[in-house]
Chain A
């Protein structure tokens, strides 16, 4: 356990072990130990008829069981705590238990004969537990202290300062006073427990190291798949690599377009001064050159290795050894991942394999970023195309339409009735063509991901009021009454103003278009828990039931709409749907053919907090 990885680290990189499971395991084991003390005492007293300090041993056994009951009670709420807090509390509990067991162990040892106690091997067991649960130096400190206390106990019993209990009758009297026996016992215990603790700690260290690496790999894989920003992914990979190997620093350098320079893309744990030292020459530096050929390279001693381009700066930074691995994408090297230690000879081949795995995640991130860049580029190419169409396709039609209208109004001389009729038809056709171009552009825009405008807080009623005012002329000329009913209190919704205008121009325009003279269109705003609901209801031709589900498709027009003389492109509702999806709202339709149609749009009501966002 290394305290450098405490809870101040971001949660995903915290390697603080969770000991709450061990806590519970210790408690369940202790039930056995407490019971064993009681049973063994009873057995020795009744069956073997050994003269034991029954009261002392029973008290010890009961104390163990009592403590365990208390521990069970305070450990139970552990799983309800949040991660970092739980880990801290579990660690405290583990230390409390170890200390308690330690004291109980010495009491039991004393009551069972001190240096002659048959329970002495329990020191080994406890040593193993401590080596498993505590970090590197702590088991050894514990061990030294244990031997010291055992020595003191033996000497006190030998001198008669405290009583000695004769537990095994077969042993020679005063065995516990023989210096040679005491020395032999103590050294045997010291040596065996040291070996046991050392082996256990080594296995534990390796396990923790493995766990740390597996966790890091998992996190980096997650990071790579969930974050789009290349620099952020690389930052996290560098940090993850340094944390996983438990070393000071890490950096990622990527080859530039020329392939000659390695530019810094991410750094962790390095001074600004060092980071600013400039690009690494990919072809000139022997060290980087070797790495870019595709092999991990370990520099065991910075000061004596001539392969480094910035040897002096690296030494000044306090770095003693370096491990560097290539980042390879599509068979080609794209960069280098390095980890730095302030100790010489810090890195092993095992470390190299692990860092290679991290680097392959880096390669994926780089490739993702390039793919995203390409996607974004093609997106903006599309937007460019849309703009081109705006001007190039629409202006000639607009020009033609303007000329035609001046002709039609007789501004270039009088027209015969037939000419008037033909030009009128032409005007209708050109209008339809313009509508189509405009709708296609709107659709292309609403489907272009990168071009999407961010949502804002838009006051609903004023925008809606403006739209209705602007549609009044159209309604009047068709003799359709247009009514608007909204609460006095103004809601702000999450949308774009242009998009909102387009949605309601489309819906209200359709309602007017497909409602015969004498009918009515009613726009109503109500507040519901789900948001602001805007309904546009007409008394028009309606939509055939079986066609309602097709309504939102590009270019779809209901069969009765096609039969009517009303022109349309079939793109309006598709645009409406796209925009409302973008706003995070919903739209539904209810219609009875021949009676009318009601569209209901639900939009999220924006809180003032959304303004800042």
Chain B
């Protein structure tokens, strides 16, 4: 039983992820954008974050992850830097960029392609929580 923060601007996506996570016995908190996400992190310190890559802008998800994982020890989010992040993305197959977890460029722990397969998402969450 863990607390999962889902950040996505698509309420249906949040609902689907929420149902998944709840069926796996996790507690879910939601945020509709990056700034709300950061607030929720400070308030409730989730055990894992599921992050959508594109929200208001095509890069909001990236910016969020980079901010949270800033290597600067004086960053206000330094204490949250070890929260695992799963990035939900459809971008993998459509833009000419090929993303992969890369510590320097994009500090996330795993990618799950959107629309996600519930079993795969649950498995990925469990794997990161048990790490």
Contact = CB atoms under 8 A, between A and B. Distances in A.
A10 to B, nearest CB: 38
A398 B97 contact: no
Interface residues of A, number: 31
A474 to B, nearest CB: 13
A455 interface: no
Contacts of A390: 90, 94-95
A409 B118 contact: yes
Nearest to A445: B96
Given A402-B12, A410-B23, 12 more contacts: A390-B95, A394-B90, A395-B90, A398-B13, A402-B16, A402-B116, A405-B117, A406-B16, A409-B118, A411-B22, A411-B23, A453-B96
A412 B96 contact: no
Interface in A392-437: 394-403, 405-406, 409-412, 434
A390 B10 CA distance: 14
B118 A438 contact: no
Instruction: For chain B, give the interface size range.
Output: 20 to 34
Nearest to B11: A399
26 contacts: A390-B94, A394-B94, A395-B13, A396-B12, A397-B115, A398-B13, A398-B114, A399-B16, A402-B115, A403-B12, A403-B16, A405-B16, A406-B20, A409-B20, A409-B23, A409-B118, A411-B20, A411-B23, A412-B19, A438-B93, A438-B94, A442-B93, A445-B94, A445-B96, A451-B96, A497-B98
A501 interface: yes
B119 interface: yes
Contacts of B119: 409
B59 to A, nearest CB: 12
B115 A398 contact: yes
Contacts of A387: 58
Residue from the set B12, B22, B119 with the largest chain A CB neighbour count within 10 Å: B12
Contact of B94 (A406, A412, A441): A441
A194 interface: no
Contacts of A409: 20, 23, 118-119
A410 B17 CA distance: 13
Contacts of A405: 16, 115-118
Nearest to A496: B96
A406 B97 contact: no
Contacts of A49: none
Nearest to B16: A402
A276 interface: no
A498 B96 contact: yes
B115 A399 contact: yes
Contact of A498 (B15, B54, B97): B97
A545 interface: no
Contacts of A498: 95-98
Contacts of B118: 405-406, 409, 411
Interface in B74-131: 90, 93-98, 114-119
A399 B96 CA distance: 23
B54 to A, nearest CB: 6
Given A387-B58, A406-B19, A400 B97 contact: no
B19 A411 contact: yes
A287 to B, nearest CB: 51
A528 interface: no
A399 B98 contact: no
A68 B94 CA distance: 76
B81 to A, nearest CB: 28
Contacts of A399: 10, 12-13, 16, 115
Interface string A171-182: 000000000000
A568 to B, nearest CB: 16
A395 B116 CA distance: 12
A565 interface: no
A80 to B, nearest CB: 50
A400 B12 contact: yes
A563 interface: no
A499 B12 CA distance: 32
Contacts of A442: 93-94
A391 interface: yes
Contacts of B15: 403
Residue from the set A391, A406, A442, A445 with the largest chain B CB neighbour count within 10 Å: A406
A352 to B, nearest CB: 52
Nearest to B9: A395
Contact of B17 (A391, A402, A451, A497): A402
A272 B96 CA distance: 43
Interface string A435-452: 000100110010000010
A496 B22 CA distance: 41
B13 to A, nearest CB: 5
A92 to B, nearest CB: 58
Q: Which 5 residue pairs are nearest across A and B when measured between Cβ atoms?
A: A399-B12, A402-B16, A401-B115, A411-B23, A398-B115
Interface in A480-501: 496-499, 501
Contacts of A411: 19-20, 22-23, 118
B124 to A, nearest CB: 14
Contact of B114 (A402, A403, A410, A453): A402
A438 B15 CA distance: 24
A333 B25 CA distance: 75
Contacts of B115: 397-399, 401-402, 405, 434
Nearest to B18: A406
A412 B20 CA distance: 9
A438 B98 CA distance: 15
Nearest to A395: B10
Nearest to A501: B98
Contacts of A391: 54, 58
A38 B116 CA distance: 104
Contacts of A406: 16, 19-20, 23, 118
A133 to B, nearest CB: 62
A434 B93 CA distance: 11
Nearest to A430: B115
Contacts of B19: 406, 411-412
A142 to B, nearest CB: 69
Interface in B11-54: 12-13, 15-17, 19-20, 22-23, 54
Contacts of B93: 438, 442
Nearest to A500: B98
Nearest to B22: A411
Contacts of B95: 390, 498
A453 B17 CA distance: 35
A462 to B, nearest CB: 13
B11 to A, nearest CB: 8
A192 to B, nearest CB: 79
